[in-house]
Amino acid sequence: MTRSDLVELLTERVGQLTHRDADAAVKTILDAMSDALVRGHRIEIRGFGSFSINRRPPRMGRNPRTGESVHIPERRVPHFKPGKALREAVGAQPVEGADDD
């Protein structure tokens, strides 16, 4: 699902919203979530999951082409942990395209 799919779905489900209003609502929510993560805050949406920031410590890596050691600096990366309701809903669905061979 893309952002535009989400806007279309919101427009269909809420008849009073125009496409422009739905787009603004989705943009506002995503911007607020992004800003919270950038500030290092945790986001929790009950029944869906939580977003947080994980720290990856600095380490030494290797250039695969030359074999030379390369210093990789510390990074902060977003992390999503699904809530129980979402895990159960996804786990209850059959896998598409899976054959019972």
| First CA to last CA distance, the chain | 30
Task: Please tell me the distance from the alpha carbon of residue 37 to that of residue 53, in angstroms, as a whole number.
Answer: 7
Structural contact between residues 79 and 51, judged by C-beta atoms closer than 8 angstroms:
yes
The predicted model scores a pTM of 0.75
Look at the block and give the residue holding tokens 């500030």.
39
Count, residues in the chain:
101
Q: Where are the beta strands (DSSP E) in 19-68?
A: 43-45, 49-56, 59-62
- pLDDT (tens digit, 0 to 9) for every residue of the chain, 101 residues total? 999 999 999 999 998 999 999 999 999 999 999 999 999 999 999 989 999 999 999 999 999 999 999 999 999 999 999 999 999 999 887 777 665 54
